[in-house]
Amino acid sequence: MKIITLWQPWASFIAWGLKTIETREHGKFRILCYQTIGIHAGKSWDKTWEEHAGKYLTEEQIYNTKQLKQGFDERKESDVRGSIICTVNIYRVGWLLSKHSNEALIDCDLNRFGLFLNNLKIIEPVIPDKVKYKCHQGIWDYDGEIIYLLDL
């Protein structure tokens, strides 16, 4: 299975069903169209998340994200850093318009390419073997076991 690594909280936004378009400033991920991919929560936290996503989230969603950050900082058991946390299908790809901003949780009026996501499936978080897998930004392959927990 192809996997993409996203900094937190962006990976969790997808797993929570809030972010249904993943964006890039390039179209290199177009090769993923019509595939089921895994979402890997990276070990970094995007400090600018609220600046970009805040206006598209409810107060409760912002609060939940700040709670996620607290768990991330304190390395609580609930922290999923370094784990594959869900799978999604990419049913369409293409350059975005401003009308896509709410689904992407980021302004899409400037050169943003999108992966349109559906069929979200929550999995038991999997921490890939660091020796076998290079969990890096970009696309990488995972051939280990995936245990599905919940279909949304």
CA-only gyration radius of the chain, Å: 15
Per the model's pLDDT, the better-predicted residue between 135 and 39 turns out to be 39
Whether the predicted model's global pTM rises above the 0.85 cut: yes
Token representation of residue 147:
């245990």
At 84-125, the pLDDT tens digits run: 999 999 999 999 999 999 999 999 988 999 999 999 999 999
Distance of CA 149 to the CA centre of its chain: 17
pLDDT higher than 80, residue 130: no
Question: What does the buried/exposed string (b/e) look like for 99-108 if buried means 16 or more CB atoms within 10 Å of the residue's CB?
Answer: ebbbbbbbbb
Which pLDDT score, from 0 to 100, does residue 76 have?
Answer: 84
Token representation of residue 111:
């050169």
CA–CA dist 77, 70 (Å, integer): 12
Which pLDDT score, from 0 to 100, does residue 28 have?
Answer: 92
Which pLDDT score, from 0 to 100, does residue 151 have?
Answer: 53
**Does residue 128 have a cis peptide bond before it, meaning omega lies within 30 degrees of 0?**
no
CA–CA dist 4, 141 (Å, integer): 9
Confidence of residue 127 (pLDDT cuts 50, 70, 90): confident
At 3-62, the pLDDT tens digits run: 999 999 999 999 999 999 999 999 999 999 999 999 999 999 999 999 999 999 999 999
In order of their start, the domains of the chain are: 2-151 (2.30.130.30)
